[in-house]
Structure 1
Amino acid sequence: MPTTSATSSTSATANLVSTLGAGSGINMSQLAEQLAAAQYAARLDQITAKTDRITSQISSASTLRSMISSLASSLGDRVRTGDLAATPQIANASVAQVSKGAATGRGTTTLEVTALAKAQTLVSPALASETAPVGAGTLTLRFGTVSGSTFTADPSRAQVDITVSSTATLGDIASAINAKGAGVTAYVAAGASGPQLVLKGEDGAANGFVLEATEDPLNPGLSALAWDPATNLSRLKTPATDAAFLLDGVSRTSKTNTISDAAPGLSLKLTGTNPGAPTTISYSDPGAAITSAMQDLTSALNEMVSELNKDTDPTSGVLSNDPGARTLRRQLTTLASAQVMPANTTGAPTTLADLGLKTNRDGSFSLDTDRLAATIKRDPIGTGAMFTNGLYGVYATFDKLARTVGSTSDASSLGGSIARLTKLQTTLGTQKSTIETKQEDLRQRLVTRFAKLDTNITGSKSTLSFLQAQIDAWNGKNN
């Protein structure tokens, strides 16, 4: 019996100690963390899953938007190189530089330049010193046309007055003239006979000028700088003249040497003269370059369609229900038939379909090279005009599409979808942060409670140790 009693007492003590956690090896801090995590695990997992999906959606939508933007940018670069439109080429490069105008040229043009546009150059008499004052008063520039010894003022242009102080040097006067920004520049030249003031106007006969002086009687000398053609033509080093040229046999003039759109598809920058020896300007054939560009465009569109099909797959596509992706598909479906040039009655090509682009049944694209070749042969000017910078054309169409697709203000665009998803992603991030804060608060509360419990258990274990010693002593006596 005593043995049975001792065994029962020992078992009861062990059970009590086990119940209170003595010797159990429980990590109270870890237990608190696990309990807090378990409390919010489902909600955090749900937010994480939503965030991961949204991240995938943003990535896919951004990829599509980037593909369209890159396509438009590549087209713009290709158009700016000039090989997709008939490009002018001049036989005598010393006469002029030629470039494309607003339209597309064709055939052959003749150019004969008899005079270049020049600016008036006027010099002052040589002075004794560059640093010595030249007198005081007012210098006045008047503009108009200088012809021989006659000056005809232009009443539409205001005179320019330059105030000269009594201490002003030639350099000061040059600086004062330049500061007016009136189209006349000045500097001081170290001439062989002494410093001279040099004044230069702008190109064109209408930009001639005279220089008048109103002297201060107490500080004379300023009148030495005054000039008009009736007094001293030797100081006029270069008269202001217009450019004169014959284009296709038609006499023309220009106040500058740069003539924009001198003819359809042709801009000129005159650099020399060739009187009596006209040079020719011809135009390159862009047919091969246009065909190559259309093949590249078709391939790029098919890459985009493939990506779009993957993203909008009803079962696996991350953008299967996205409004921006649906809008893009509709835009691509009507792309070939959309007007990219203003409608006209001359038979000029106006759509991408005229350039051979076809939309297949599955939404992909193909290139009808026979139709493209026929369009180029029928109307090379109209075809080339579709590949120029401007409000209309192939580049303008894709640039507009890229801007529309990327618009963040349109909820039905990819840009709108990205903006909406990004906002939702931010909201989920805030929710996750809030839940994690609550989880941490719960963990800290549990740690505090478990710490108190651990203290109580430690006290209970001390009491149990004392009771155990007493029981052992009692059992010893009974033995």
Structure 2
Amino acid sequence: MSGTPTVGPGAVRGGSGVDINALAADLAAARFTPRIKALQGKSQAVSVKLDAAANLRAKVAQLAAAFGERVRAGALAPQASVTPPGVATASLLPGAVLPAPFTLEVHQLACGQVWVGPPYDAPDARVGAGQLEIAFGAVSGSAFDPDPERAPLRLDLGPDDTLTTLARRVEAARVGLSAQVLQGEGGARLVLKGPDGSANGFVLRGSAAEPDGGPSPQPSPAALSWALADGTAALHQVARDAQLSLDGVTIRHPSNRFTEPGSGLVLALSSTSSGQPATITFAAALPAMREVMADLAAALDEVGRSVRDVAAPLGGPIGADSGARLLKRLLADLPGSTVMPRAAEGAPRTLADLGLASDGNGGFAFESHRFDRRAAEDPQAVAAFFTAGLHGAFATLDRLARTAGLSTDPGSLGGSVRRYEAQQARMELRRETLLAQQEALRQQLTRRLARSEGMVRASNSVLAQLELQIGLARGDRR
């Protein structure tokens, strides 16, 4: 029959020839891709808002943290000087307010007990088997009062222990004693030194090991025994507290480093001055404060311009964001806000009084002449701005950063960040759901197309058999 295809003997028609896996994937993608792309577009828009809000929040937090670090570091603390200088050195704790001058009289320096043991032939001379006990307590004149809350150091000594090994064991016990062996005229001696303060005295009690039926072992740790009642020949230095007068008030302290809690004054005593009082005066670190104010204005200017750009009503990624609007208001109010509510009449109370100026468009500048005038008029009031207390520049900036970054407040930047993060999480969950649904549809279509392909193959097989039989029949007729 003209135009009718023929198939040779043994030929089998294949399936449809379609890649069913690719077809199923294309059909499933055609259904879900538009929805996934639309979701991705929304997610990208939220991501831009999230980045803008998070960056602003981070900049404000970093500004407050950097300012606080400079306050706490002590560079802005008033500078103390002692006259005459050899009596002590003085400083103020970071954040301390500029105090009035003090008078200082040092009657006695603190020191630790120094005990020098009996002479031995050499540092490696054996001290004998037994036990050495060192008890700790307070020294008052020739009296020793054991400290019931401080356990004595008990060392069990063997026959091979020497002065050197004994010193090492005392050091290793970490009970506050330093121990060393010094070789001098008359032999080698064990020297023990305790911490400063009359409460850190000590006495020694040595005992020999029990003899094994023979004579007592020689030498014996009993040679190291010593108490105050034994005299002061072995006592090179008595443990003492420091005694001083500050503005006429007598103070006793166990060390030569003393902190007066009310003013934050820190003293390191170096010599006595009984009858010759020294004077401690203070000067505000005005040059450092001036520099900090200039740096603060520059940092605020950077933050303010960032807010202006990203929160612009037209074109800004978070122009309608409530957190950005709140930060705008906080920054605009910052120069004129009262920083020192307890300042005296006429004293500076705001950052504007110290030279912080706003240009009305989000930017800031430092007007140095205003700072210089206030610093010349009232340096103590200016210095009060740069403390770590409840009031001052640091407290104000810290409150601003906390207010802007509060995540539980939906009207703050922190609340905006939290809201955008939640939106992103929901959209990511929705995207994962759509991808799962797309995969489920692909698998379902693959199964259906596979069944259809099977049916096509079966039909093609029957058709091939028929064509074979028709071909054979035609051949017989010929």
Is residue 120–residue 188 contact of structure 2 (8 Å, CA) maintained in 1?
yes
1:349–1:144 Cα change, 3 Å: farther
Is residue 188–residue 195 contact of structure 1 (8 Å, CA) maintained in 2?
no
Q: Using the TM superposition, give the Cα deviation of residue 472 of structure 1 relative to its aligned residue in structure 2, in angstroms.
A: 12
What letter corresponds to residue 46 of structure 1 in structure 2?
Answer: A
Partner of 1:453: helix, strand, or coil? helix
Is residue 139–residue 145 contact of structure 2 (8 Å, CA) maintained in 1?
yes
Partner of 2:230: helix, strand, or coil? coil
Q: After the TM superposition, which residues 109-258 of structure 1 pair with which residues of structure 2 at under 5 Å, given as runs?
A: 116-127=109-120, 131-133=126-128, 135-136=130-131, 139-146=134-141, 150-151=142-143, 153=145, 158=149, 160-163=151-154, 165=156, 167=158, 171=165, 175=169, 179=173, 181=175, 184-192=176-184, 193=186, 196-204=189-197, 206-207=198-199, 209-211=201-203, 213=205, 218=210, 223-243=222-242, 254-258=253-257
Higher mean displacement: 211-220 or 442-451: 211-220
TM-score (norm 2): 0.75
1:86–1:217 Cα change, 3 Å: closer
Q: Percent same amino acid at aligned positions?
A: 31
Q: Using the TM superposition, give the Cα deviation of residue 130 of structure 1 relative to its aligned residue in structure 2, in angstroms.
A: 5.3
Tell me the equivalent position of 1:62. Answer: 54
Tell me the equivalent position of 1:18. Answer: none
Q: Using the TM superposition, give the Cα deviation of residue 440 of structure 1 relative to its aligned residue in structure 2, in angstroms.
A: 1.5
> Using the alignment, how far apart are the partners of 1:450 and 1:320 within structure 2?
51
Q: After the TM superposition, which residues 244-283 of structure 1 pair with which residues of structure 2 at under 5 Å, given as runs?
A: 254-261=253-260, 266-271=265-270
| 2:435 paired with 1:444 | no
Q: Using the TM superposition, give the Cα deviation of residue 55 of structure 1 relative to its aligned residue in structure 2, in angstroms.
A: 1.4
What letter corresponds to residue 397 of structure 1 in structure 2?
Answer: T
Is residue 47–residue 428 contact of structure 1 (8 Å, CA) maintained in 2?
yes
> Using the alignment, how far apart are the partners of 1:262 and 1:252 within structure 2?
13
Partner of 1:99: helix, strand, or coil? strand
> Using the alignment, how far apart are the partners of 1:411 and 1:319 within structure 2?
14
What letter corresponds to residue 68 of structure 1 in structure 2?
Answer: V
TM-score (norm 1): 0.75
Q: After the TM superposition, which residues 414-453 of structure 1 pair with which residues of structure 2 at under 5 Å, given as runs?
A: 414-453=413-452
What letter corresponds to residue 440 of structure 2 in structure 1?
Answer: D
1:159–1:460 Cα change, 3 Å: closer
> Using the alignment, how far apart are the partners of 1:130 and 1:399 within structure 2?
65
1:197-233, Cα deviation, whole Å (9 max, x unpaired): 43322223x3352516485895785554343444331
Cα RMSD over matched residues? 4.6
Q: Using the TM superposition, give the Cα deviation of residue 80 of structure 1 relative to its aligned residue in structure 2, in angstroms.
A: 4.7
Q: Using the TM superposition, give the Cα deviation of residue 54 of structure 1 relative to its aligned residue in structure 2, in angstroms.
A: 2.1
1:229–1:174 Cα change, 3 Å: farther
Gaps of 5+ in 1: 11-20, 474-479
> Using the alignment, how far apart are the partners of 1:457 and 1:262 within structure 2?
96
Q: Using the TM superposition, give the Cα deviation of residue 60 of structure 1 relative to its aligned residue in structure 2, in angstroms.
A: 1.0
Higher mean displacement: 214-223 or 111-120: 214-223
Is residue 86–residue 381 contact of structure 1 (8 Å, CA) maintained in 2?
no
1:266–1:142 Cα change, 3 Å: closer
What letter corresponds to residue 434 of structure 1 in structure 2?
Answer: T
Gaps of 5+ in 2: 6-13, 473-478
Aligned residues: 453
Is residue 210–residue 227 contact of structure 1 (8 Å, CA) maintained in 2?
no
What letter corresponds to residue 31 of structure 1 in structure 2?
Answer: L
> Using the alignment, how far apart are the partners of 2:358 and 2:132 within structure 1?
78
Is residue 88–residue 105 contact of structure 1 (8 Å, CA) maintained in 2?
no
> Using the alignment, how far apart are the partners of 1:243 and 1:139 within structure 2?
24
Is residue 186–residue 199 contact of structure 1 (8 Å, CA) maintained in 2?
yes
> Using the alignment, how far apart are the partners of 1:347 and 1:254 within structure 2?
41
1:349–1:426 Cα change, 3 Å: same
Q: Using the TM superposition, give the Cα deviation of residue 422 of structure 1 relative to its aligned residue in structure 2, in angstroms.
A: 2.4
Q: After the TM superposition, which residues 328-367 of structure 1 pair with which residues of structure 2 at under 5 Å, given as runs?
A: 328-341=327-340, 343-345=342-344, 348-359=347-358, 361-367=360-366
- The one of 42, 45, 49 equivalent to 2:41 is 49
Tell me the equivalent position of 2:71. Answer: 79
1:321–1:228 Cα change, 3 Å: same
